[in-house]
Structure 1
Amino acid sequence: MTDQTPFRPFADQLDDARALKTLRAATDGADDGELFLERRRSEALVFDDGRLRNASYDASEGFGLRAVRGETAGYAHSTDISEAALTRAAETARLAVGAGGGTLADGPAATNRRLYTDADPMADAEFPVKVETLREIDAYARGRDSRVVQVSATIAASLQEVVILRPDGTMVSDTRPMSRVNVSVIVEKDGRRESGSHGGGGRAGLAALIRPEHWKASVDEALRIALVNLEAEAAPAGQMDVVLGNGWPGILLHEAVGHGLEGDFNRKGSSAFSGLIGQQVAAKGVTVVDDGSLPDRRGSITVDDEGTPSSRTVLIEDGVLVGYMQDRQNARLMGVEATGNGRRESYAHAPMPRMTNTIMEGGDASPEEIVADLKDGIYAVGFGGGQVDITNGKFVFSCTEAYRVKDGKIGAPVKGATLIGDGPKAMKQIRAVGNDMALDPGIGNCGKAGQWVPVGVGQPTLMIGGLTVGGSQAS
C-alpha cells in the first residue's frame, strides 16, 4: 500500500506536528532531506539434513533523519522512536547544512498506485504447516533419486512498513511484503558430490509458494541441475564466444553494466560509463531498462526510500547510452530528474542510487538460432557469484550450469567455468539478442557500500563474442 494519507504505525510514538517541526529545523537552509520511519518483521525456517535446523523471527523498528546540502549529507538514526531521540538526530544531521543558504527542492510526485499486496505473508500459514511443508520437501527430494544425500529447504517471509515525512509536510507510506521458498540438493555417485538449487518468490504471500505443485517443481529443477553437474566434464579455458540463457543469467548484466549506470558513480566520474550519454556503448539492438514498477516482483518498489514513485528508466536504447539511475541528491547535482532509484537497506542507512529490476529487452532471434550459430564456445544457463570493478567494468562470474557447444550442437555439461571480461566491451560484442526475454524467479540480492537490497534481473538468450572462459583445460 502506498498513499499520501498513510497508515500510521508510529502514531503512538510521534506527534505529526512536532516531528515535522523538528525535521524542518534540521533541514532549514538545506537542499533536501526527509524523516524515514521503518518497522520490519521477518521469519525464516531452514530444514537441513532431515530436521528443522533453524527457525528465527526478527522484529525491528527505527528512524533515520537526513539533511542534504550540495554534495554533503548529514544522517542520524535511532531505534528509539521518540521526540527526544528525533531532536538529537536533528541536531546531528543539521551539522551537514552549516550556515545553510540552500533552496529546498520540490518533493516527489504523488502516487496512489499499488504494485503489491499489503497483507502479511507470514500469516499465510501457521508455523506447524510451514514445518510440515519443509518436511515434505525433504522427503520428496530424497524419494526422487537414490543419489540424493542431502536436502536443504528454506521458507522465508517478511513485511516492511515505511513512512517518509518530507519538510514540505508531505507524508508517504509503503507496506512491502516479501516471501521466498528455496531448495538445494546434493547428489553423490562413485564418491563424487555435486549440488543444485532452485527457488524464488517476490512481493506476494507464501500461500502459492508452499503449494505442492510449486515446491515440487523447484525440487525437480534443483535435482536436475545437480544431476547435470554430476556428469559434467572439466570446463575449457581460453577466449571464445558465449551464449547466455534467458532469465537469471541477467545477473551478469546487473553486475557488469548495471552498477556502472548508477548516478553517483557517474556524477563522480568513477564509472566506466561516465560522460558517455548519447554515445554508442552497446551493440545496436541492445536496450536496457531498470523497472521498479513491475507488479509483485522482488526488486519492485511502489515508491523508493525517498518517496519518489518507481519508474521504468531506459538506460541504453538501441545501443546508445541515454540515462542513469538516480536518487534525489545525485539527480539534482547532475541537473536531471530523479528516477525512483533512491534505496536503502534500512532506517540505519542513508539512501543511494540502486537498481530495482534491471532488464535487457528481447530481440528478434530465436534461442535455437543463436545456439546453432555458436561454432565453438560455452552455453551458460546458470550463474553463481560474481565480482565487478565499477571503474573499468571488469567482471568475473562463476557458472553453475554450462555446456560445451561445437558447430551449433550442445554437448557435454562442463564444470568450473568462469566468465571473465569487462562490461563496456562485452556490451559492444553482443552478436545476437533472443526473442525469449524472461525475468528471474525472484532470488536476487544486491550489495553496495555495505548495504543489501532485493533486486530482480531479466534478459533474453544472448550471444557475446570473445569472452575469456576460465576453466581447467585449454580449449
Structure 2
Amino acid sequence: MTFTDPRSLLYRQLDPAEALALTRDTLSACDDGELYMQFIASEAFGFDDGRLKTADYSRDAGFGLRGVSGEMTGFAHANEISAAAIRRAGETLKLLDPAAQGMSPPPKPTNRHLYTDASPLDAVPFEAKVKLLEEIDRVARARDPRVAQVSATLLASWSVVEIVRADGFVATDVRPLVRLNVSIVAEQNGRRETGSFGMGGRKLYDDLFAPDAWNEAIDHALSQALVNLDSVDAPAGEMTVLLGPGWPGVLLHEAVGHGLEGDFNRKGTSAFSGRIGERVGAPGVTVVDDGSIAARRGSLSIDDEGTPTQENVLIEDGVLKGYMQDRLNARLMGVPATGNGRRESYAHAPMPRMTNTFMRGGNDDPAELLSRIKNGIYAKSFGGGQVDIVSGKFVFSCTEAYKVEDGKLGAPIKGATLIGDGPTVLTRVTGIGNDMALDHGVGVCGKGGQSVPAGVGQPTLLVEGLTVGGTA
C-alpha cells in the first residue's frame, strides 16, 4: 500500500491541532521536552541453506512524551496515538520539579531532505525480493567449488516521525532504510572459514538490486572467506599496525567516538572530559561527525529532538574542539545542540549519539605507508569490539588481516585482536592516507540499551605501538 501523506499514519485517532494543545498542556511546567510520534513498517528476509528461511513484516505506531526540568527527565510512551493515551502519559510529568527557566528555545527549522520520502517496502514486489536472494545464492555457489554455505539477508524499514513541542514547533521526517548482507562459508581440506559483506543506506532498494552491487557483495564475502582458509596464527605483542580505509573506522567509532558524546563529558566520566583545546591526537588527525550527508545510513534530516543535523568537527589537527550534544546536555553545558539527539524508537528517550563518524584523509600514499613497516600487521576488516568509556580502553577482533614484513604483505592471519585506548591511539598515528572512505552502510551502534543505524569511515592509518593479541 502506498500512502500519499505519511502524516496520516500518525493522526488516525488524533487531530494535529489537538496534539499541539495536549503537548502545551502536559509540558507547560518543563524546561524542555516534546511529543514524539512514530509510525514504522519493517521487513526482513533471510535466505540460508538454499531456501528462504524467514520473511517477516511488522508495523508499529506509538508516541513518547518527554519532559525535562533541570537535570531531571520524565518519560512515558505507549503504542497507541490518542488523546487519552497522551493525557495518561502526561501524569508522569507531574513528578518533575517546576521549571526554573521556562521552556528552552525550539530548534532551528529546516526544509532540508537528505533522502526520499518513498517507502522501500512498497517499491519492489515480494516475489522480486525472494528472487534476488535466490540469485545471490546460486551465483555465489557457482563462483567457487569451495563455497559450502551461503546466507543472504535483505532488510528495510520506513519510518514516519513527527516532533511536537509546547512552543508550537512541529517537525516531520520520513526515513527509509535498506540493507543487504551476504555471508559465505568456504571449505577446503576439512577447514571452514567465513567471509561477509554488506551495503545499504537511506534510500530505496534500487541500488541493492543492481547486479553490480550484489555481485560486489558476493566477491568481497567470498574473497574474505578464501583468504581466511589460508590464514595462519596471528602474532602477539606490541607492533606497528596499518588500518585499512572505510569500515575499520568502526575502531575510531568505539574507541574515540563514544568518549566524545556530551553526556559522558558533562558527567566527567569520559577520557576526554574537560580537555577542550588540548592536543589529544597527532598532527593531521581530524575527526568529524556529520549527520547531514545525503542518503547515508547514519544520516538524519533532523535528529530525534527536531534539531537539524550538521557537520561537527570534534578533533581538528589533533586538538579537541567539541563534543556531540543533544538538547539536554547542551543546555546544561552552556553550548549549542549539535543535532546528535537520537533514540531507537518512540519507546525510548533521546540521548547524545553519533551519526556518521570518520577521520578525514591526509596526504600519504597508502602503498608508501605499507612500505614503512618492518614488522607488523595490516588490518583490513573488523568484527566486534568493546570499549570502556571512562578509560577509553578497547579490544577489537580482526576478520581479515595480514602479516607485514619488510614493507610487504605476508600471510593472512587468524585470531588477531587489537588492544589499546582511544586517547593514546590517536597520538600514535604516524601516517594518514589520501584514500578516506566511508563504510558501505551496515553499521549499528549500541548505547544504553538502544540501537541506532550509524556510519563510520577513515583513510588508511599507520599506528605505532598498538598491542596485538594473537594466537601464536
Whether 1:66 and 2:98 are equivalent positions in the alignment is no
Q: 1:45-60 alignment to 2 at 5 Å? A: 45-60=45-60
Contact 2:75 2:93 in 1 (8 A): yes
CA deviations on 1:225-283 (whole Å, 9 max, x unpaired) are 00000000100000101000000000000000000000000000000000000000000
Corresponding residue of 1:84: 84
Corresponding residue of 1:334: 333
Q: Residue 80 of structure 2 aligns to which amino acid in structure 1?
A: D
Contact 2:6 2:174 in 1 (8 A): no
Distance, in Å, in 2 between the alignment partners of 1:269 and 1:460 is: 30
Distance, in Å, in 1 between the alignment partners of 2:36 and 2:386 is: 31
Other structure's SS at 1:458 match: strand
Contact 1:6 1:163 in 2 (8 A): no
Contact 2:7 2:160 in 1 (8 A): no
Distance, in Å, in 1 between the alignment partners of 2:322 and 2:453 is: 22
Corresponding residue of 1:226: 225
Corresponding residue of 1:281: 280
Corresponding residue of 1:455: 454
CA deviations on 1:302-357 (whole Å, 9 max, x unpaired) are 00000000000010000000000000000000000000000000000000000000
Distance, in Å, in 2 between the alignment partners of 1:101 and 1:460 is: 47
Corresponding residue of 2:32: 32
Bigger shift: residues 300-309 or 115-124: 115-124
Bigger shift: residues 124-133 or 60-69: 124-133
Contact 1:445 1:454 in 2 (8 A): yes
Corresponding residue of 2:319: 320
Distance, in Å, in 2 between the alignment partners of 1:101 and 1:439 is: 44
Q: 1:69-468 alignment to 2 at 5 Å? A: 69-96=69-96, 98-468=97-467
Q: CA deviation at 1:210?
A: 1.4
Distance, in Å, in 1 between the alignment partners of 2:98 and 2:135 is: 64
Contact 1:27 1:94 in 2 (8 A): no
Contact 1:293 1:301 in 2 (8 A): yes
CA deviations on 1:181-208 (whole Å, 9 max, x unpaired) are 1100000011100000012110011022
Contact 2:116 2:203 in 1 (8 A): yes
- Structure 1, unaligned runs of 5 or more: none
Distance, in Å, in 2 between the alignment partners of 1:46 and 1:94 is: 46
Distance, in Å, in 1 between the alignment partners of 2:125 and 2:16 is: 36
Q: CA deviation at 1:6?
A: 8.7
Q: Residue 271 of structure 1 aligns to which amino acid in structure 2?
A: S
Q: Residue 416 of structure 1 aligns to which amino acid in structure 2?
A: G
Other structure's SS at 1:221 match: helix
Q: CA deviation at 1:8?
A: 4.1
RMSD after superposition: 1.1
Q: Residue 157 of structure 2 aligns to which amino acid in structure 1?
A: S
Distance, in Å, in 2 between the alignment partners of 1:36 and 1:50 is: 42
Aligned residues: 468
Other structure's SS at 1:208 match: helix
Distance, in Å, in 1 between the alignment partners of 2:12 and 2:79 is: 15
Q: Residue 92 of structure 2 aligns to which amino acid in structure 1?
A: T
Contact 1:67 1:94 in 2 (8 A): no
User: Percent identity of the aligned residues?
Assistant: 60
Q: Residue 301 of structure 2 aligns to which amino acid in structure 1?
A: T
Distance, in Å, in 1 between the alignment partners of 2:98 and 2:250 is: 45
Q: State TM-score, norm by structure 2.
A: 0.98
Q: Residue 39 of structure 1 aligns to which amino acid in structure 2?
A: F
Distance, in Å, in 2 between the alignment partners of 1:444 and 1:228 is: 23
Contact 2:386 2:394 in 1 (8 A): yes
Whether 1:9 and 2:9 are equivalent positions in the alignment is yes
Distance, in Å, in 2 between the alignment partners of 1:284 and 1:103 is: 44
Distance, in Å, in 2 between the alignment partners of 1:310 and 1:10 is: 23
Contact 1:385 1:397 in 2 (8 A): yes
Other structure's SS at 1:209 match: helix
Contact 1:243 1:464 in 2 (8 A): yes
Q: CA deviation at 1:14?
A: 1.2
Q: CA deviation at 1:102?
A: 3.1
Contact 1:248 1:383 in 2 (8 A): yes
Q: State TM-score, norm by structure 1.
A: 0.97
